Amino acid sequence: MKKDVVSWNFKYLVKVKTRKTVNLVNILEGYKEIEIISPQEL
């Protein structure tokens, strides 16, 4: 099951590079991928 993070910090968290980096770190550390989305994407 995927978990969602909703962010109003558009300048940082919802950037594509940040989304990919967060998931890369999660995978390398043995955690599941997460989906970071803005409220407009809900």
Q: How many Å apart are CA 26 and CA 22, to the nearest integer?
A: 6
What is the pLDDT at residue 6? 65
Domain assignments of the chain as residue spans, ordered by start: 3-41
Q: Which residues contact 38 (CB under 8 A, 6 or more apart)?
A: 6, 7, 8, 10, 14
pLDDT tens track of the chain, all 42 residues? Answer: 666 666 666 666 668 888 899 899 999 999 998 887 777 777
Q: State the pTM of this model.
A: 0.62
